[in-house]
A and B are shown apart, each in its own frame.
Chain A
Amino acid sequence: MDWLTILVTTVEAAVGVETVVYALAALGVNIQFGYSGLLNFGQAAFLGVAGYGLAVIVSTFGLPFWLGIVVGLASVVVFAFLLGVPTLKLRADYLAIVTIAAAEIVRLIFRSVAFKDVFGGSDGRRAFSGTFYDMNPFPPGQYGIGPFGFSERVLWVLVLGWFLVGISCLAIYLLMKSPWGRVLKAIREDEDAVRSLGKNVFSYKMQALILGGVVGCFGGFVYALAFASVQPDVFGTELTFYAYTIVILGGAARVFGPVLGASIFWVLLVLVGNTLSEAVSAGYITFMTTTQVGPVRFMLVGLGLILLLVFRPQGIFGDKREIALDAR
């Protein structure tokens, strides 16, 4: 068995592109679900709308990169607004139903034949990240320590990605210890109480939905740029559910919970997956083929998460006292 490869891929997964993308998606979910109690099950669509906004502007219409970023961001805000207007006045479950359906609609539009000229059907879009890599300050080469390392392209993506994670965390930290954050947390606990104290609950929920969508959509940009392509099926519902898993793993309503959660989630997936496939190819495991390793690692990680929820329901960063309150 090649332990070095396992070690290297695992360590790289801790800070890799997937971790950044999911950390950003989960940071957004944490604002909505963790702090405000909004069940947005359409987070994948926020990433998709941003990624496609950029891709379509640049590759379909041949317009400048920065315009693509602006259009991506603006589309996310509009999308959040459209989702919020009919649902935020209703009970929490309606938002969940509407957002999950809306996210699927968005994905199906992206891959539809009718709009193939614009969105590229199931192949998606590519050739829009040239400007981004032209801005890369790192000369070509391999960067890292010892066996760990990234190419200059990946490094550039990671530097920018972690910068986005950093400023998102800083913004969330500042907001959540302010009176604004207090209103959000209060809404999560009981909307009517907050209304009776003169706060416009609808407006705050809308702000939370938009902010969470914008933070999440950074993940969409990072994904699109890192892989220099967008495909509709990347933005399926699993992405949203992994983001929720990550939030709960890290501890809901904790600033760094989603970041740590994303790291652990991907480390576990990569570690379990690579160890299994190495063991299969080395002949230690005989009841499984290498193609079965993919699904099995998800089963094992899922099992691990179930155990975590049983023994540490508040997540890694969570406060046990808060969980105890739910039983009252």
Chain B
Amino acid sequence: MHAEPIGFKAKAQAAFAGLESEPGVRKPDPILVVDKVVRRFGGLTAVDVDHVEIQRGSITALIGPNGAGKTTFFNQLTGFDTADAGEWTFNGARLNGVPAHKVARRGMVRTFQLTKALSKLTVLENMRLGAQGQKGENFFRAFVQSIWRGQEDAITERAEQLLERFKLDKKRDDFAGSLSGGQRKLLEMARALMVEPELVMLDEPMAGVNPALTQSLLGHVKDLRDQGMTVLFVEHDMDMVRDISDWVIVMAQGAVIAEGPPDTIMSDSRVIDAYLGAHHDAPLSQEEAELQLQAAEAELEEEAGIEHAEPTEPNEPAEPAEPAAASEEKKEASA
């Protein structure tokens, strides 16, 4: 399964070597630099990110409990919403205040958590739409087929290759609206790649995709990195995050609370607090946190009917295999 050329992963991860696991830590070669972005909805501060950098050529995961502000953060960065404050640069150029379509043209393309398939267009037409700089999209040139025919053929060829990679080639001529939920996710991701972005921002790309296909898609995401693209993705499945990401950023209650390599991030005390204490307004004291963790575990055991479970210390986990457990606890705690 993991037959990927180890070189790329190692190279991507080397960039992060020696970085501190502090929120807002400087990266050697950031493609996206975000400063003091704030978005409030009435009294609720959905996003309040002080400083964060995304390393070029890497796969960065953005995780956090439900309602942490991940999607809202994406919306600010990509121009789909107007931040109350903040600045961010992409490839060194300022991007705040830039409308969504121009953000995409600059090479930063996002997908949506709730998929947006263009229902009454065929799958192939959906794909073709993603291509940039199309001559036939100009009103006057549209009349003269000979101007855009050649480009359209090239676009179609590229679209077909991508569809094949995403196992949608058989659906080529079907309406996108007739696809299943998972297939729509795939189409949306493939369509975003038609833009040929430098940075792709995927909002829960694998939600609803079956495990076998997820595996092959993870491979494609790694390919993207190996081709020099930067990937930022939101995901709740910790196994997947650990499998493909080079770096993990954790959000809770709108703020970036921790960053770090995937192997150790879930054992970070701030992360555990965030997942378990996300529904408290005041930060938990050490004791409270421990009590709550024990209560959650007790409940878990009860449900699973396990006789003996190893009590895990919240702050000093027995082994770095914590994330899976933590993500289960998260579900429990939020129930």
Contact = CB atoms under 8 A, between A and B. Distances in A.
Nearest to A197: B130
Contacts of A179: 128, 134-137, 142, 148, 152
A194 B191 CA distance: 11
B334 interface: no
Contacts of A325: 119-120, 175, 177-178
B143 A190 contact: no
A198 B145 contact: no
Interface in A175-225: 175, 178-183, 185-186, 188-190, 192-201, 207, 211
A192 B99 CA distance: 12
A180 B178 CA distance: 24
A160 interface: no
Given A179-B148, A182-B121, A328-B177, A197 B191 contact: yes
Contacts of B138: 180
A199 B132 CA distance: 9
B119 A180 contact: no
A182 B139 CA distance: 12
Interface residues of B, number: 43
B312 to A, nearest CB: 41
A285 interface: no
A105 interface: no
B104 interface: yes
B132 A198 contact: yes
A80 B78 CA distance: 30
B151 to A, nearest CB: 9
A198 B121 contact: no
Interface residues of A, number: 30
B116 A190 contact: yes
Contacts of A171: 143
B220 interface: no
Contact of A182 (B80, B128, B175): B128
B153 to A, nearest CB: 12
Contacts of A207: 139
A174 interface: yes
Nearest to B135: A179
Contacts of A182: 121, 125, 128-129, 137
Interface in B114-130: 116-121, 125-126, 128-130
Contact of A178 (B105, B110, B142): B142
B137 A183 contact: yes
B137 A180 contact: yes
A322 interface: yes
A178 to B, nearest CB: 4
Given A182-B129, A322-B175, A195 B142 contact: no
A192 B119 contact: no
Contacts of B188: 193
B48 to A, nearest CB: 24
A195 B100 contact: yes
A321 interface: yes
A320 B117 CA distance: 19
B109 interface: yes
A257 to B, nearest CB: 15
Interface string A243-285: 0000000000000000000000000000000000000000000
18 contacts: A175-B139, A175-B142, A178-B136, A179-B137, A180-B142, A182-B121, A182-B125, A182-B129, A185-B125, A186-B118, A189-B117, A192-B116, A196-B109, A197-B101, A198-B101, A207-B139, A325-B120, A328-B178
| A-B pairs with lowest CB-CB distance, top 4 | A179-B136, A180-B142, A198-B104, A325-B177
